Structure formats: structure tokens, C-alpha cells
Amino acid sequence: MLLSAPSVHATEPANPPSPPWREALLLALWLLLSTAWRPLLLPDEGRYASVAWEMLRGDGVVPTLDGLPFFHKPPLLYWLDGVALGLFGINEFAARCGPALLAWVLGMALHLHARRWHGVAVARAALAVLATSPFFFVGAQYVNHDIGVAACITAACFSIVRAVEDPQRTARRWLMAGWAFCALGVLAKGLIGIVLPAFIIGPWLLAQGRWRQTLSLLHPLGLLVFAALVLPWLLAMQQRFPGFFDYFIVEQHFRRFTGTTFNNRLPPWFYVAVLPLLMLPWSLWLAGLRPALLRAVVPQHSAPRIGLYLWWTLAVVGFFSLPASKLVGYVLPALAPVAALLALVLSARRTPWPRIAAGAALACLALVAVLAWKAPGSHRELARTLGAQLRPGDRVAFIDEYFYDLPFYARLATPVIVVSAWDAPDVALQDNWRKELFDATRFSADRGASVLWNWQRLAELPCHAGSVWIVAAAEHHERLAASIAGLRSVQTLRGVELLTLPGRACAARAPPAPSSPSSP
């Protein structure tokens, strides 16, 4: 009978289990197994891998895209990937080492927490559920900032929970660890790295009447740790680029959260539907999450533990359901509590989860294999053709599009010229690739003028000492041929064409600077 199932809540065994080095090693191998199988996906992976590549060649402090300051996101991912690119070369494996490392932190934070609260068996089940969920597995090898902030939020919450496990005192070292992970969360994706842990832990403690411990979380040493990790980069950027705080904090956080002009407008119930879908097959056991089952799994005095998982999930899903703009990866911080709940259900039901995990793992690998086969939108082969023929001093130009992965694969040493309608009145208002580049002109107008060319300057592209290489959608071929004599097509793949022509001497002309973007 279900209610007679043995309790799986946390106990202190007479002989403590061995350290979880085996789980740590297996998780690392699992996350790295298929990272090099597929090309970079667009736009995110191409964009962020290219920023990491540029930071590796630059000063390592200012994120840049096409040589222009890129402050949409903070630098933690770029720093990690930059180290990996320096160690392993410019390839997909290195570009995905940063997300894989942060996903490993997320997984081990869950496992170590579950061992302490629920025992080794439940901890292993929780790790299996997490590791073989398609949402986590693909997110762990997807070059963007979502898995990183999810890992930092998860580690911060579990560290703070450990700090307050004794209602009479707060363990200072674990509180400091929590504040450190909050700081890394801010460096991973912004203020959400501290807002969500506060939104999760604070109400959970207050619901138990533990207001003194809630106040104790604001320990001066914790605040000092947080400031010491976060402020140096923020202050350095503000000092070098006046207006950085307004752009990075006000526009990229508050305006994006409350605004309605950004892309990906989706209904409020989006995450309620997508989270179970992306955790198949494990989410099928969510139907067994009933009060009677929870009473069988956790004794009455430990009900706050289940409350933490439930509130944590609700807080994340609810928080990100409020804005009109939604992306799937935003809800990744809910994975750890959902995996913990599912592990408790599986253990209480005595479900043979290792067999399910084996099937789920094969499904995850098959999903990555399909992505590798389809390689949606990849310009890798075109970039390799360009990289093989490019010579020092050659000029590269993109026409009316920014091909995010091409600089990475072609290993371009200098920024490319991007020809488009930069003088259009709505260029700073549309949430697209043009806005990403055009926004940077408020921090570096001179650099913007050198790489962002209006259509009127198209005929100037051949005015160069070396060869000129042009990448454009095939639909632009006639317009290019009419404006530039001597173009030769080198390769066309997936509707994108690589063209070239020798440079020639032209009369000197001062380039006009793009207009500064207006404030939204």
C-alpha cells in the first residue's frame, strides 16, 4: 500500500555514505558527451560564442559584438567560455564548456541538498530526473545565459537553506556561500540572480514565522561578499561608458520586464504548459503529486521541506509569467525543485526509475542527434570556406543581416562591415539584431560609424587595398551586382551567398556617423 511505504525523509545514517564523487564524475561525462555533435544554433549560440571569442582577443573586461560594446548581458558566460576557447581552441566543444560547467553546478547542488534532506537513494533519483530531462540536457549544451543564472540561483537557495536549517541560528559560512552565488547569478544574467533567491527564501521563512532568521540573511559580511564580487565589473563599465547603468539596469531589466515592445509575446499560461512538456517522460509522474503521497514521504514536522519545493516552483513560474515577453529558458530555475518533488514521488511509489532514466537518456541523445543532422540556420561550412581563403588585410561585409556564427567559425580577426538601413527612424525601436548593434553606438559612436554602413555606401565596399568578401542572402544578389562591378560568387548554402572581388583605389570620402539611438 502507498501509505505504508517507508519514509524517505532525511536521516543521519550510522555510517555516512561515501562522498558523491561518482555522481559528480558521471554527471560531468554526461554533460560533455555530445557537446561537439552539432553546429552552433542561431541566433543565441552564434551570438554569445562570438562575444566570448572577441573578449578572448580583447581586454577580457568589455563584452563586444563586432567590435562594439555589447551590454545586453553581463560577462560570466563569456569569461568561462573565453578560458575554454583559449584551452581547447575555437570550436563548439569549447564554446559549450561554460554552460556545461554551470549545469554541472546546478546538478550537484540539487544532489548534495537531496542527500542531506532525503537520503542517497532519493538524491540519485533527483539527479537522474534532472540530468535526463530534455530541458536540462539541451540547456546544458546551449550557449546562452539561462542555464548559468539557473545554476547560480539554485546553488544560492540551497546554500541559504542549509544556513538556516537550525531555527535558532544561521550558519555563517553557508550564508556567505549563498551571497557569493547570488553575486555570480548577477554576473551571469543580471539582477534576477539576487531577486529570485530573495523571492524564494524570504516568503518561505516568513511563512514559518522565522522572521528573525529572515532578517539575519542581511548579514553585513554577506553584503560585503556580494558587493566585492559584483561591483568591480559594474563600476568599471560605468566609469568607461557613461550611461551604462541606465542601459544595463534600467533598460535591460526594468523596461524589458514591464515593456510590451519586445519579441516573443506569449500568453500567461505559457510556462505552465511548456515546463512539463520539456521534462518528459518524468513529468508524467507529476499526476502522483498528492497530499496523501507527500504525507507518506515526509513526516509532518518536515512539511516545510515540501513547501519549499512547491513555493520555489510557483515563484519562478509565476514571476516569469508576468512579462509579455517570454523565452523558454527563463523558467530553468524551476528545474531543481520539480526534480526533487518527482524523485520523492518515484521513491514513494517504488518506481524503477533507473530503467526510465536509461530510456530518457537515449531520447536526449536522439534529440541532439536530430539537431546535429538538421543544423538549423548554420553558416559553418560557408564560414570555413571564407576562413580558408581570407588573407590579412582583406575586408568582410555582411549585407542587411548579421550572421552571428560566421565570425566565430571563420575566426575573423577584425570587425565586419554591416550594410543596412541604419538611418531608418525605427531602427532603435525594433527588438532585433539591428537594435543590438545600433544600441552600441551610444557607447562608441566612432566604432559604430566604422562598421555600420547605410545602403548609400554600398558602392564603397570595393574601395580597399585587399580583397573584399561579401556575405548576403541570395535575394540581394541582383542589387549587389548592380551596385558593385566584378563580383564573383564563391559559394551558396541555405540561401546565403559568399561573394568576392579584388579591392581597388577610390577617392577618399569621410564616412557619416550613424545617428545616436533615441531613448525608448
pTM: 0.91
Alpha-carbon span 249 to 213, nearest angstrom: 30
Alpha-carbon span 442 to 436, nearest angstrom: 11
Average pLDDT of span 374-395 = 91
pLDDT band at 184 (very low <50, low <70, confident <90, very high): very high
> What's residue 246's pLDDT?
87
SS percent in the chain: helix, strand, coil, step 5: 60, 5, 30
Average pLDDT of the residues of the chain: 88
Domains of the chain: 2-7+42-373 (no CATH), 380-501 (3.40.50)
Give how far Cα 399 sits from Cα of 50, 85, 253, 479, 480, Å: 18, 28, 31, 11, 9
> Is pLDDT of 302 > 50?
yes
> Is pLDDT of 514 > 90?
no
pLDDT band at 517 (very low <50, low <70, confident <90, very high): very low
pLDDT band at 290 (very low <50, low <70, confident <90, very high): low
Give how far Cα 490 sits from Cα of 386, 414, 458, 471, 479, Å: 9, 21, 19, 10, 17
Cα four-point dihedral sign 62, 67, 73, 75: negative
> What's residue 516's pLDDT?
47
Torsion of CA 196, 200, 202, 203, to 10 degrees: 130
Which residues are 501's β-sheet partners?
468
The pLDDT tens digits of the residues spanning 101-125 come to 999 999 999 999 999 999 999 999 9
Contact 148, 60 (CB under 8 A): no
Whose cell is 512538456? That residue is 277
Alpha-carbon span 469 to 150, nearest angstrom: 40
Cα four-point dihedral sign 76, 261, 69, 244: negative
Contact 141, 99 (CB under 8 A): yes
Which candidate, 513, 517, 333, 505, places its Cα nearest to that of 437?
517
Cell of 356: 526510465
Average pLDDT of span 445-456 = 93
> What's residue 400's pLDDT?
94
Alpha-carbon span 179 to 160, nearest angstrom: 8
> Is pLDDT of 12 > 50?
no
Which region among 6-10, 233-237, 250-254, 290-294 has the lowest average model confidence (pLDDT)?
Answer: 6-10
Instruction: Give the burial string for 446-484 (b: 16+ CB within 10 Å, else e).
Output: ebbbebbbeeebbebbbbbeebbbbbbeeebbeebeeeb
> Is pLDDT of 75 > 70?
yes
The pLDDT tens digits of the residues spanning 457-498 come to 999 999 998 999 999 999 999 999 888 988 999 999 989 999
Helix or strand run (H / E) with residue 305: helix 303-321
**Greater confidence, 115 or 518?**
115
Torsion of CA 45, 48, 52, 58, to 10 degrees: 140
Cell of 298: 515526509
State the distance between the two ends of the chain, measured CA to CA, in whole angstroms. Answer: 61
Residues with Cβ < 8 Å from 501, sequence gap 6 or more? 462, 467, 468, 470, 484, 486, 487, 488
pLDDT band at 296 (very low <50, low <70, confident <90, very high): low
Alpha-carbon span 496 to 479, nearest angstrom: 15
Average pLDDT of span 195-201 = 96
> Is pLDDT of 4 > 70?
no
The pLDDT tens digits of the residues spanning 211-230 come to 999 999 999 999 999 999 99
> What's residue 149's pLDDT?
97
Residue type, 36: A
Phi, psi of 147 (to 5 degrees): -70, -30
Average pLDDT of span 328-342 = 95
Average pLDDT of span 345-370 = 92
Which residues are 471's β-sheet partners?
398, 498
Secondary structure letter of residue 475 according to DSSP: G
> Is pLDDT of 267 > 90?
no
Percentage with pLDDT > 90 across the chain: 72
Residues with Cβ < 8 Å from 365, sequence gap 6 or more? 33, 34
Contact 150, 332 (CB under 8 A): yes
Residues with Cβ < 8 Å from 214, sequence gap 6 or more? 202, 205, 206
